Structure 1
């Protein structure tokens, strides 16, 4: 079965490979007595890149968000190894979530809006039942407006993240690439990115999710237990 074949993402492994291990390497093991400045960058970034590749083989398909994350990491590595001006790190940090925000809005003009990928998908919602109920109550147009509003909420979270990314990078990364201080600052930025950026952005996404589910309940007149996919019993 489809759901049996799709393994759930391990949050602890995600945090370890994308944040904890790279942070420790950059801040503690990038000195000349250990890996060295450039090798420290390479080893630290190898973990999140490896996680992105692993996610590809796990899902058996290219995930747009994971792919953009890997590109972001490669850009960080390129800027660091080429010893470019630190301002490019800040620009890159702001650009990635800004691209996601724009993509969320522009996708509304396509057959596959990102809001459906993120929130209104068949992994968590009984799509056919919801669509049937919307049709019965003649609320399909109203629900279309709901998806548009939810898309703008999601885009807002990405734009908010973009601003915070830029500020965080400008405040923390002040040393030139190719130095041990730069690696330590990059590690510090990586460590702070989760509480400073991810959590506030996640709260906005949760708000969008709450808005969507409340609207589904109102427009379909279905109880929420008839909206969500029931988890399969553990064997």
Structure 2
């Protein structure tokens, strides 16, 4: 039975596009007002996240951080705090994830091995068999460490870019229509300027590990990748 997965398209709509439109177009006093628009915009990712949790029965630490991020954004806007705290918050969330990924390097379960190099994607039983035959297990473990460092660096990149974009784009006092509109622009701009490059970097990490596995095991791509039986 095929495992149900969340749709990236729905994620883009409810977490990026709809909140951005609400913030940029409905923050005026003639519509929802600055407070109303902020509450409605932030409600979309919260409700969508709850729906995904109930439907797919999956919850993880990154999802929790995303939920906390939404609450912090709402708090900054509703409490009318200095916009600089938004930049700090934007950098803090991916920064914390990056630290967690980095620390996992020194455990038995580096994050990259759970997310990218696992039995769902790769034929790990055959790979480990070939690695043992060729006495390449230590070399493979070192490659995993390098991949995990690279994975942590993608969150460092995201943290820095989040901070810079927030400082440049969101300059108006929180709790105002201008603040909401700038927050909406930040949400839209962050996707192509941060999420897509980070995704490309992750694909590069997967390619690096695929190359390492091929060189160490002499297996073909069809043997490395997991296929439906």
Matched with 1:188 is: 185
Aligned residue in 1 for 2:144? 147
CA-to-partner distance for each residue in 1:171-193, whole Å, 9 max, x for gaps?
01111111000000000000000
Report if aligned partners of 2:110, 2:145 keep a CA contact under 8 Å in 1: no
Distance in 2, Cα, partners of 1:227 & 1:70: 36
The CA RMSD over aligned residues, in Å, is 1.4
The corresponding residue for 1:125 is 122
Question: Are 1:71 and 2:68 an aligned pair?
Answer: yes
2:202 & 2:11 partners in 1: Cα distance?
19
Gaps spanning 5+ residues in structure 1: where?
Answer: none
| Alpha carbons 1:83, 1:176 under 8 Å: kept | yes
Question: Relative to structure 2, which stretch is displaced further, 179-188 or 44-53?
Answer: 44-53
Contact 1:157-1:201 within 8 A present in 2 as well: yes
CA distances 1:33-64 after superposition (whole Å, capped 9, x unpaired): 11111111111011111222223223323222
1:109 aligned residue: 106
Aligned residue number for residue 7 of structure 1: 4
Shift of 1:231: 4.4
Unaligned runs of 5+ in 2: none
Partner of 2:34: 37
Q: Which residue of 2 aligns with 1:23?
A: 20
Contact 2:27 2:37 in 1 (8 A): yes
Alignment counterpart, residue 155 of structure 2, candidates 158, 162, 176 = 158
2: CA distance, partners of 1:29 / 1:117:
41
**Deviation (angstroms), 1:150:** 0.4
Q: Does 1:203 align with 2:200?
A: yes
Task: Report if aligned partners of 1:56, 1:63 keep a CA contact under 8 Å in 2.
Answer: no
Give the whole-Å Cα distance in 2 for the aligned partners of 1:183 and 1:145: 46
Query: 2: CA distance between counterparts of 1:17 and 1:147?
Result: 34
User: 1:157 touches 1:205 (CA, 8 Å); kept in 2?
Assistant: yes
Give me the TM-score of the superposition, normalised by structure 1. Answer: 0.93
Counting matched residue pairs gives 229
Q: Comparing 63-72 with 9-18, which one deviates more in the overlay?
A: 63-72
Could you list the runs of 4 or more consecutive aligned residues of structure 1 that deviate by over 4 angstroms after TM superposition? none
Q: 1:58 to 1:112 in 2, by over 3 A?
A: farther
- Listed as ranges, the matches of 1:172-187 within 5 Å are 172-187=169-184
Secondary structure of residue in 2 paired with 1:109: coil
- Greater alpha carbon shift after TM alignment, 187-196 vs 122-131: 122-131
